[in-house]
Structure 1
Amino acid sequence: MDNQFDPNNKIIQLLLRGMGMEDSGKPEEASLLFIKAWSEATDDFERFIAAYFVARHQKNSSDKLKWFETSLRFALKLNDEAVKSAFPSLYLNIAKCYEELSNPDKAKENYELSHSYKVTPSDQGPFFHGTKADLQVGDLLTAKEESNYNSELKMNHIYFTALVSGAGLAAALAKGDRRERVYLVEPTGEFESDPNVTDKKFPGNLTRSYRSQEPLKIVGEVTDWLQQTPEELRLWREKLASNKGEIID
């Protein structure tokens, strides 16, 4: 596996199942799935993300600290833009553990490290936007337009991603019966990590999802990306319908 977030990866699937158990009020079953994900992880990315979830289910601060530091160790080895977005969350959790263990110096050091990584994204792209709209190279996508998913909702930002599969999913979920389109886009101004996904389930912004109030310029179109199965799309549509106020892409 490369370091790109892939919802079809078997370790990510185990973690998603574990989160489902958490949501159903079954923490013991969730913990077992997270341990299984850790035991079956085969590369540094999988070990980083699995250790993070194992850490969250530890009963005492010493064990939590051990697992969060394990997650951080693998994250640091990756030197990956998306994984770096998890550093604020990782260092923050480590700081809280040291605080609970009455080590204020180490707590302060890790709180400062957490804060130091909370910067404007430095992702260089390329970036993609998924929709069912027919657009041309040179067109500008702007905020204040209606949502791709809810015609009653006006968007204050325009959303995009650095993962073509994420843009493909957004295109598949967008309303309308035109064909799905994934456009290559360039931000014309500042952008930020999408708060709808950042630190919500997974640490940081592993899906490399962003938003901007400045226009996106269409610079090309992508015609090949990983398509979701009908069953996967059904599950995503259910999730979209139940997440009031959350936006995908």
Structure 2
Amino acid sequence: MSTDPTIVRIGEAVRRAHQGEREAARAVFAEIWAQIGGDAGDPLHRCTLAHAMADVQDDVREELAWDQRALTAAALLTDDRLAEAGVALPAAGLFPSLHLNLSECYRKLGELDLAREHLRRARATIGALGDDAYGRLIRDGLERVAGALAAEPEQAHPV
């Protein structure tokens, strides 16, 4: 459990989203985003918020944009910064979920090559997660997206 007040507020908004209050959660996320300085804010806050904000979007292109923000911010994080905020996950443990989400967005948009690339990246980083509930959740998500992508035809590549 994080002791960082911004992470706690983001978590509270996530709970609202899970209770079906997506619009209210989106409003809280937008308020926090402005308070943290948006794309110039602390990478941990940006990553956490953007990852959660993506989940409450109704438009897949908006979801993709937030997932991309989360990935960009995650690349700047260190294990020390996460530990300082009371986050037990190592920085490398963020990438499987982030790439999984990007893979799903690209799949929904019909960008199958990009979807497969992010699925590959998610699989390449899955070893950073343990065999706990979170790790199993992400592994199950990888299998679900892999199955959906396997059902899609291969994209033709221009010559």
TM-score using structure 1 length:
0.45
Change (3 A) 1:198 1:108: closer
**Aligned counterparts, 1:83-98, within 5 A:** 83-98=91-106
1:79 deviates by: 4.3
Alpha-carbon distance between aligned partners in 2 of 1:18 and 1:110, rounded to the nearest angstrom: 27
1:8 deviates by: 2.7
* Structure having the larger proportion of residues in helix: 2
- Other structure's SS at 1:109 match: helix
Change (3 A) 1:199 1:70: farther
How many residues align structurally? 125
Are positions 1:195 and 2:132 aligned together?
Answer: yes
Opposite residue 92 of structure 1, the aligned amino acid is L
Change (3 A) 1:51 1:68: same
Are positions 1:8 and 2:3 aligned together?
Answer: yes
Change (3 A) 1:39 1:59: same
Q: Is the 8 A contact 1:45 1:74 kept in 2?
A: yes
Q: Is the 8 A contact 1:52 1:68 kept in 2?
A: yes
Opposite residue 195 of structure 1, the aligned amino acid is D
Runs of 4+ in 1 over 6 A off after TM superposition: none
Unmatched tracts of structure 1, length 5 or more = 1-5, 122-191, 204-249
What's the Cα RMSD here? 2.3
**Aligned counterparts, 1:81-120, within 5 A:** 82-119=90-127
Q: State the identity %.
A: 24
Q: Is the 8 A contact 2:17 2:56 kept in 1?
A: no
Q: Is the 8 A contact 1:47 1:71 kept in 2?
A: yes
1:117 deviates by: 0.3
Name the larger-Rg structure.
1
Bigger Cα displacement from structure 2, 10-19 vs 75-84? 75-84
Alpha-carbon distance between aligned partners in 2 of 1:111 and 1:97, rounded to the nearest angstrom: 11
Alpha-carbon distance between aligned partners in 2 of 1:15 and 1:40, rounded to the nearest angstrom: 12
1:12 deviates by: 1.1
1:36 deviates by: 2.1
TM-score using structure 2 length:
0.69
The residue number in structure 2 matching 1:168 is none
The residue number in structure 2 matching 1:73 is 72
